Amino acid sequence: MTQAKRGITAEDLYQMRYASDPQLSPDGKTLAYVENQIDESHAYQNHLYLRKLDVDDPLPLTSGSRDTYPRWSPDGSKISFVSNRSGKPQIWLIDANGGEARQLTRCKNGVSNPTWSPDGKYIVFSSILDEGETFADLEAAEEKEKAKAIHVGRMKYKSDDLGFIYEKNKQLAIVHVETGEVTPLSDGPYNHTIGSWSPDGKWLAVTANRSEDPDFQHGIDVFIIPSEGGEWKKLTNSKGIFAYPTWSPDGKKLAYIGSESDTHLYAAQKRIWVYDFEKSDYSCITANWDVQVGDSTIGDMRSPGHPNPGAVWTADGRGMYFIASERGNSGIYHVTLDGQVTTVVTGNRNIYGFSLHENEQTVVAAISDPSTPGDLYQVSLKDGEEKRLTALNEELFAGMELPVPEEIEFVAKDGWKLHGWMLKPVGFEKGKKYPMVLQIHGGPHSLYGNTFFHEFQLLAAKGYAVLYTNPRGSFGYGEHFVQACCGDYGGNDYRDLMTAVQFACDHFDFVDEDRLGVAGGSYGGFMTNWIVGKTNRFKAGVTDRSICNWVSFYGVSDIGYFFTAEEIQANPFTNPEKMWQHSPIRLVENIETPLLIMHGEHDYRCPIEQAEQLYVTLKHQGKAPVSFVRFPGASHELSRSGDPEQRVLRLQYTTDWFDSYLVAHQKEKVE
């Protein structure tokens, strides 16, 4: 008799692993990559591995606590990586054949994005410096006495990524690989991000907002700067956000990814641009391809911001390879300089990183799908043949049932075509009725897709059908679609979600219409708050990291004052009424749905005062059951890269809440 497989649990998070940041050696024969996991003490671990592509067994390269960002030296003899083994993240070097690693930098605030020069003599990196601080202050200073008062001089003084930054900025420097001597490249009240070296090593392409007042001008420009110091040259016009500049092999062109818009920062679709140094001009080569460049897929196993290869040039300089997101999938594509786009590696899955070696005609892609948190695959550019290189959760998942979502398509009342997925419960039995949870993604400019989602699989294991969809405002369906929610939060986006619920109830006979739940985080939390204020159709709601009041959000979020200008198209001075009309807190008197509110205390994107307002108002109004869970020390990234034990607790609170109102109440009704 075959033993029934179990569903996934919240605690299985501690056992799951995924691979990331594949990097092929200069000769294309060996792969370096990162294996990510949680150790026995429930702390994150990242280890580097090497694998010969013609050998099946990988070899561990490091065993430090958090080793990331492996990068080959140009001659393939060394690998640089970022490690916190000495405290702060620093650059370390290790021989490609193994051995002891050598620490290269000692910046007191750590470093990021180390990038080798073409001759292998230098590495450029970025580090956060305080006002008046220099790279001469390399050694970590003793802990200073806590300040009695801090004078804030700018509006962008905090960040959900970095906490309270006050007058700190990300600056660039070059370190000599042999001597460790550091030469600064940037200064001033600006944040800088590394792009790439020119092929001759004389120039660096970087991105930064070096406008007169970065508090009011939010564009991020592309610059080239002499690697030995000198005058900077700005290539863009401060009308958009650009990133990942990469040089053509002959050094005559520079590609970068971004958007050029006077009105949209978040809702502008990313495209590929090319600057021609001979013509001193740039153009968008994907202008006629209405697809989001980059991976915009939301999941809960990998934090946002994993390394993006940008646009990877072909050896002849006539085109480039890149990742793009379309209809719930992200794949690898190729574009020529005249804008002809072809598919390289796609499918119903989420490609979140890749490394390519054109001479070897091979690409190694980091791929997730609804049953795979993240593994590496080798793909031939000649015939598309794939070889799986890792199967990190094979043993763990062998005894589990992981349902595969069913793709659905439906039409909004105004005729817009919509897209989503239905995940059936574990142990599904035909003819039986199941409670259903509608999940709403954050952003709103992101997308649900064919990637692994622990929370969805957990709900399915608990006996829930899970409906998730991409309402207007999501990436993956063209620029008009992604901008359609701006100024209309709680309008047609709300109606899209309710249309999805009705479609599911009409087309899936296993959905119990009397046992519906709704959940979401960030924008999804906003929409959960909005939904329970507009309808009593749902028997329970879980709102995570949410927004309830746009008027106060304007002044407390790290992005509030400029995010509301674009997304709500209002501010507290000229049209506060519009901000209030889009605020779920004004609908509290209508709420009868039992609501669980969860929030991180160090969330600076959607600060916890949003949750506090909602909770106190609901309690003061004597409304339907409400519970408030606070997570000390947690940022906006709680559910993806937050403390593992807090992530597990959050999942347990979620399923317990739905069990109380969608399962327990049903049992009482039957009895």
Catalytically annotated residues: 522, 636
> From CA 106, how far away is CA 115, in angstroms rounded?
17
Nearest to 258 by CA among 232, 233, 292, 224: 292
> From CA 604, how far away is CA 161, in angstroms rounded?
9
Q: Which helix (H) or strand (E) holds 638?
A: helix 638-641
Give the number of other CB atoms < 10 A from CB of residue 475: 29
> From CA 213, how far away is CA 195, in angstroms rounded?
23
Give the number of other CB atoms < 10 A from CB of residue 598: 27
DSSP state at residue 502: H
> From CA 68, how far away is CA 558, in angstroms rounded?
27
> From CA 462, how far away is CA 518, in angstroms rounded?
15
> From CA 555, how far away is CA 378, in angstroms rounded?
48
3-state secondary structure 268-326: CCCEEEEEECCCCEEEECCCCCCCEECCCECCCCCCCCCCCCCCEECCCCCEEEEEEEE
For residue 225, give Cα distances in angstroms to 192, 242, 308: 12, 16, 22
Q: Which helix (H) or strand (E) holds 366?
A: strand 362-369
Query: Hey, what are 515's tokens?
Result: 């046992």
Query: Hey, what are 526's tokens?
Result: 């906003």
Long-range contacts of residues 373-377, Cβ cutoff 8 Å, at least 24 apart: 373/16, 373/17, 373/18, 373/301, 373/302, 373/452, 373/454, 374/18, 374/19, 374/20, 374/36, 374/301, 374/302, 374/452, 375/18, 375/19, 376/19, 376/22, 376/31, 376/33
Query: Hey, what are 131's tokens?
Result: 């006002």
3-state secondary structure 57-97: CCEECCCCCEEEEEEECCCCCEEEEEECCCCCCEEEEEECC
Q: Which helix (H) or strand (E) holds 646?
A: helix 644-658
> Cβ distance 520 to 441 under 8 Å?
yes
| Residue 305: alpha-carbon gap to chain centroid | 5
